[in-house]
Amino acid sequence: MSVEIRVASIDPIRQTFARTSRRFGADKPASRYQEASFDLQPRDNFHYRPVWDPERDIYDSRRTAICMRDWDDFRDPRQYYYATYVLNRARMQETAEKSFEFVERHGLLATLSAGQVHQVEALLLPFRHLEWAANLNNCFITAYCFGSSMAQGAMYNTTDRLGIAQYLSRIGLLLDGNSGRSLIAAKERWLGDPAWQGLRRLAEHSLVRKDWFEIFVAQNLVLDSLVHPVMYARLHTELDAPGAAYLAMLTEFMKDWYGENVKWVDACLKIAAAESADNRAQLSAWAAEWKGRAIEALDPLVRLIDSGDGPQRLEAAVAALDLRMTRLGLDPA
Amino acid sequence: MNNTHTGQAGKKLSLKEKYALMTRGLGWDTSYEPMDKVFDQLGLEGIRIHDWDKWEDPFRLTMDAYWKYQAEKERKLYAVLDAFQQNNGHLNISDARYVNTLKLFFTGITPAEYNAHRLFAMLGRQFPGPGAAIACQMQAVDELRHVQTQIHSISQYNKYFNGLHDHSVMNDRLWYLSVPKSFFEDAISSGPFEQIIAISFALEYLLTNLVFMPFMSGAAYNGDMATVTFGFSSQSDEARHMTLGLECIKFVLEQDPGNVEIIQRYLDKWFWRGYKVLGLVSMMLDYMLPRKVMSWKEAWEIYFVQNGGSLFNDLSRYGLRMPRHWEQSVAEAEHLSHQTWNSFYNFSDAAAFHVWLPSDEDMAWLSEKYPNTFDQHYRPRIEHYRRLQAEGKRYYNPSLPMLCQTCQIPLIFTEGDDPTRTSHRETEHEGEKYHFCSDGCQEVFEQQPDKYVSAWLPAHQILQGNCFAPDADPQAAGFQAEAEVMRYFHVNPGQDNMDYEGSQDEANWRLWKGLSPDGASKAPPAA
């Protein structure tokens, strides 16, 4: 037996929007993700050529060398639309907020050794600038890519990167007593420290590329897969030193974010690679080119990791990237 | 480098300081690549910015706070939308005619919100100051929110009413939707400063209450809980967008005296472009809402003449003046909605919503609101249409109208000082003749003729045979050109359009509400 509520029922004349029916089957009830994500970008009858790219249309699939028959084929395994995205991030930020409050209230970063503090200052805080470049790169993809499903994923990635850059900034402010000195010092390293210059050069190169899918490969596949496992993940495995657990708490957002974001990145690459041999070759070539540059750029930094195993960690990350590329249907070079 | 570790509890930061530390320092002057290659659109317009650090952040939201606040709003909104769907909330609206305002909104404005999402992503990438870039990025994701929450609010209506089923394709193809489409594409195809002045300032600040207020208040007055809840939920987003509009114009004006002339030109253009698009809103307020909120004339007086006037008073210290031809918009407020609705009545066999003639009660309201014009010029025409309908000779205009090359509205408006003469301007460019509805539109064209000659004018495109589906064969025997154009528009003739009376929408509404054909209530159908 169950409690019953009787309601007047009237039959709908259709189940969903025509664009949703065309993509997911006629007259099946559609999910909110399906209705909110696909086939929203203007396609036909553009009125004017953009002054910022007069050879092409406002939305134009020719802004990348990648070709797709169906540009809205990029489905997000997380099924994020705005509401589910912000609800998820709100939960993550709540956890992060508690960690920051806890560490701050008890002055827990004071338990870090001078060596640990130096590691944070020299090897963690300057990454806020790399995340800013990642933000701009994903904002570029949002703006100039083709199709509403790709633009949507890149949009959330854009705001995620800003969030990460700001969490890194807060770690600095916890360390320097809100003076901002640690952030100024981190920027000086980013701008002048020889160990960081390779990475800054690489970031600046990525900012002048014009093929948005190349930027996707450079930033979201190659750089992330080498930076995150090497520079952030180690904070979650080396927990013996006093205070290490607090650093793990303060970077948990980045760790959780990376694990989740990979699903979206992989889905996009897998779909594009499966489309054609040409796509596969182009994506593989970009990945190989940016992988070579990224290894070179990260080499001086990983040597500074105090546990001494930085180069091995980078090597392991490169091997994991190669494996991942094979899994995605790309050829590791 | 010094060890910056203090180990002491930090000093308390103000919100402004905290935001600046966490955000403003993220950018840097590139040196491995030149700055003008990293931000390569800033030189397109002749606007000069000397110091991006002078940008005052219009709102200081860090991402964590953004996620938190926005999630709270989404929880509330979707709880209401769930309840609305579960309880057939669409049955509580004032009358099924009301849904036609949603059709206009959903096919005309929701796609514009999508364009805004992409436009602000462009700005979020193109402005070199992190303060300005982040304000634009947040608006980019907000606009995506608005597209999606509108889709989810209207999803329930789409299941029960016609004409809402294919908003994106219709916006790309359907003739009258080229008015809002070309407006937004005009903005998005411009340089970054014109983009932000057009949308953040002219649309979101100066004219926002003339887009947002009519639709959301219309929803509130007509029992549309889904749309009005969306409206309330997006109000704080819109407030942020307005402050961005105001900050950006002040910032650009303060950076260089040479910018004033360019900004004034943008304002003249975008005021006029925006005003023309609002013609669709005027008829919605005066003719389409079963329960009226206010007249177009009243709305224009409050939201443009008074509020806009005091805004321009403030801005006069920068050397800005009211946009050109604003006085004309005031004079035309007496006529705009009547002439616009008349055109849709004439061409409703090619639209994607229903029309109707105003009732006696509606006409009494129109007489009261428009004492100088309605009884003299517009009531007689409506009474004439009524007689024709009673005789079974409902009038449709079978021709394709001449369109204005700039705003793309048919030449349906009259001279400001003579409502019996059609306003028609023309000019020649490279041996071709171009037509306009007004001096304002002609001037916009003459500033950038090479841009506007490329406009996709639906009437021309139909005549050139460019509005048929790929599988249509105009050479085939029995080819039905009009029906094929409707198919290209994704409009179902008779089902999505023509008169509300006799429509499927009306029949369903009567069935669901238990109304007999003469309007009297009878027992509702069995559950």
CA-nearest residue of chain B to A46? B456
Distances (CA, A) of B158 to A30, A206, B150, B459: 12, 44, 12, 28
Cβ of A139 within 8 Å of Cβ of B155? The answer is: no
Residues of B in contact with A42 (CB under 8 A): 111, 114-115, 168, 171-172, 181, 185
Q: Is A63 on the interface with B (CB under 8 A)?
A: no
Per-residue b/e over A110-121, b at no fewer than 16 CB within 10 Å? bbbeeebbbbbb
List helix spans (H) across B256-352. Answer: 259-277, 279-283, 296-299, 307-315, 326-332, 336-346
Report the residue of B3, B4, B45, B513 to disrupt the A interface, i.e. the one with the largest count of A CBs within 10 Å.
B4
Q: Is B186 on the interface with A (CB under 8 A)?
A: yes
Cβ of B133 within 8 Å of Cβ of A189? The answer is: no
The answer to whether residue A99 scores a pLDDT higher than 70 is: yes
Distance CA A248, CA A228 (A): 13
Distance CA B409, CA B401 (A): 9
CA-nearest residue of chain A to B408? A47
Distance CA B481, CA A229 (A): 61
Range A236-256 average pLDDT? 90
Distance CA A86, CA A75 (A): 18
Domain residue ranges in chain A: 82-328
pLDDT digits (tens, 9 = 90+) for B475-510: 999 999 999 999 999 999 999 999 999 999 999 999
Cβ of A155 within 8 Å of Cβ of B87? The answer is: no
Joined together, the tokens standing for residue B319 give 């050397």
Q: Residue B4's pLDDT is what? A: 45
Report the residue of B1, B2, B5, B146 to disrupt the A interface, i.e. the one with the largest count of A CBs within 10 Å.
B5
Domain residue ranges in chain B: 62-471+479-513
Instruction: Report strand pairing: B432-436 vs B425-429.
Output: antiparallel
Q: Is B152 on the interface with A (CB under 8 A)?
A: yes
Cβ of B117 within 8 Å of Cβ of A47? The answer is: no
Determine what percent of chain A is predicted with pLDDT higher than 90: 90
Distance CA B206, CA B198 (A): 10
Q: Residue B193's pLDDT is what? A: 97
Cβ of B181 within 8 Å of Cβ of A132? The answer is: no
Residues of A in contact with B188 (CB under 8 A): 50, 58
> Partners of B433 in the beta sheet?
B428
Range of weakest confidence among A15-29, A255-269, A312-326, B120-134: A15-29
Joined together, the tokens standing for residue B345 give 């009545």
Distance CA B4, CA A328 (A): 44
Q: Which residues contact A79 (CB under 8 A, 6 or more apart)?
A: A31, A33
Distances (CA, A) of A205 to A216, A265, A310, A333, B122: 13, 21, 25, 21, 19
Upper half-sphere CA count for residue B422 (Cβ side, 13 Å): 13
Which residue of B13, B455, B490 is in closest CB contact with A178? B13
Joined together, the tokens standing for residue B384 give 């004439």
Distance CA B456, CA B437 (A): 17
Cβ of A117 within 8 Å of Cβ of B149? The answer is: no
Joined together, the tokens standing for residue A168 give 């890194």
Q: Which residues contact B373 (CB under 8 A, 6 or more apart)?
A: B334, B335, B338, B419
CA-nearest residue of chain B to A127? B26
Please name the residue that has the structure tokens 């609800």: A87
Residues of A in contact with B133 (CB under 8 A): 136, 139
Portion 36-55 of A in contact with B at CB < 8 A: 36, 39-52
Q: Residue A27's pLDDT is what? A: 73
Distance CA B422, CA B416 (A): 10
Name the minimum distance, in Å, from the CA of B510 to any CA of chain A: 12
Cβ of A208 within 8 Å of Cβ of B167? The answer is: no
Cβ of A42 within 8 Å of Cβ of B181? The answer is: yes
User: ipTM of the assembly?
Assistant: 0.97
Range B245-256 average pLDDT? 94
Cβ of B67 within 8 Å of Cβ of A93? The answer is: yes
B434's enclosing H/E stretch is: strand B432-436
Nearest to A123 by CA among A256, A247, A290, A294: A247
Task: Report the CATH number of the A82-328 domain.
Answer: 1.10.620.20
Classify B152 as helix, strand or coil. Answer: helix
Which residue of A45, A143, A204 is in closest CB contact with B172? A45
CB B161 within 8 A of CB B81: no
Cβ of A42 within 8 Å of Cβ of B155? The answer is: no
List helix spans (H) across chain A. Answer: 18-24, 32-37, 82-105, 114-123, 127-144, 148-175, 181-192, 194-208, 212-215, 224-227, 244-250, 252-275, 277-302, 310-328
Q: Residue B520's pLDDT is what? A: 54
Upper half-sphere CA count for residue A259 (Cβ side, 13 Å): 8
CA-nearest residue of chain A to B38? A208
Distances (CA, A) of B525 to A9, B95, B473, B495: 10, 18, 46, 24
The answer to whether residue B206 scores a pLDDT higher than 90 is: no
Range B252-260 average pLDDT? 96
Residue B498 is given by DSSP the state S
Joined together, the tokens standing for residue B307 give 């509020």
The answer to whether residue B518 scores a pLDDT higher than 80 is: no
Q: Is B273 on the interface with A (CB under 8 A)?
A: no
Determine what percent of chain A is predicted with pLDDT higher than 70: 99
Taken as a whole, chain A contains a residue count of 333
Cβ of B28 within 8 Å of Cβ of A190? The answer is: yes
Distance CA A172, CA A153 (A): 29
Cβ of A129 within 8 Å of Cβ of B28? The answer is: yes
Cβ of A40 within 8 Å of Cβ of B152? The answer is: no
A88 burial via Cβ count (<10 Å: 0-12, 13-18, 19+)? middle
Cβ of A8 within 8 Å of Cβ of B88? The answer is: yes
Nearest to A103 by CA among B359, B7, B203, B453: B7
Q: In the predicted model, what is the mean pLDDT of chain B? A: 93
CA-nearest residue of chain A to B19? A166
The residue with greater pLDDT, B4 or A76, is: A76
Joined together, the tokens standing for residue B115 give 């364009």
CB B95 within 8 A of CB B158: no
Range B112-121 average pLDDT? 98
Q: Residue A159's pLDDT is what? A: 98
Q: Is B387 on the interface with A (CB under 8 A)?
A: no
Cβ of B62 within 8 Å of Cβ of A166? The answer is: yes
Cβ of A176 within 8 Å of Cβ of B4? The answer is: yes
Distance CA B473, CA A213 (A): 38
Please name the residue that has the structure tokens 């509400």: B513
CA-nearest residue of chain A to B161? A13
Alpha-carbon torsion, ordered B402, B405, B408, B409, to 10 deg: -50
Q: Is A159 on the interface with B (CB under 8 A)?
A: yes
Q: Is B121 on the interface with A (CB under 8 A)?
A: yes
Nearest to B371 by CA among B383, B382, B359, B379: B379
Q: Is A195 on the interface with B (CB under 8 A)?
A: no
Q: B1 falls in which pLDDT band (50, 70, 90)? A: very low
Which residue of A52, A132, A173 is in closest CB contact with B191? A52
Range B458-468 average pLDDT? 95
pLDDT digits (tens, 9 = 90+) for A204-215: 999 999 999 999
Count CB neighbours of B119 within 10 A: 29
The answer to whether residue B129 scores a pLDDT higher than 80 is: yes
Q: Is A97 on the interface with B (CB under 8 A)?
A: yes
pLDDT digits (tens, 9 = 90+) for A134-163: 999 999 999 999 999 999 999 999 999 999
Which residue of A165, A183, A204 is in closest CB contact with B38? A204
Report the residue of A16, A34, A52 to disrupt the B interface, i.e. the one with the largest count of B CBs within 10 Å.
A52
Portion 69-108 of B in contact with A at CB < 8 A: 70-72, 74-75, 77-78, 86-88, 91
* Architecture of the domain spanning B62-471+479-513: Orthogonal Bundle (1.10)
Q: Is B68 on the interface with A (CB under 8 A)?
A: yes
Q: B524 falls in which pLDDT band (50, 70, 90)? A: very low
Q: Which residues contact B86 (CB under 8 A, 6 or more apart)?
A: A7
- Give the global pTM: 0.96
Taken as a whole, chain B contains a residue count of 527
Distance CA A265, CA A333 (A): 20
Q: Which residues contact B399 (CB under 8 A, 6 or more apart)?
A: none
Range B198-227 average pLDDT? 91
Range B363-379 average pLDDT? 98
Cβ of A132 within 8 Å of Cβ of B130? The answer is: yes
Which residue of A6, A14, A162 is in closest CB contact with B165? A14
Per-residue b/e over B452-481, b at no fewer than 16 CB within 10 Å? beebbbbbebbeeeebbeeebeeeeeeeee
Distances (CA, A) of A304 to A36, A124, A182, A189, B429: 46, 11, 18, 13, 66
Q: Is A112 on the interface with B (CB under 8 A)?
A: yes
> Partners of B499 in the beta sheet?
B355
Cβ of B151 within 8 Å of Cβ of A166? The answer is: no
Q: Is B450 on the interface with A (CB under 8 A)?
A: no
What does residue B421 show for φ and ψ, rounded to 5 degrees?
A: -115, 130
Q: In the predicted model, what is the mean pLDDT of chain A? A: 95
Distance CA A164, CA A150 (A): 21
Range B94-103 average pLDDT? 98
Cβ of A155 within 8 Å of Cβ of B140? The answer is: yes
Q: Residue B482's pLDDT is what? A: 93
CB A18 within 8 A of CB B169: yes
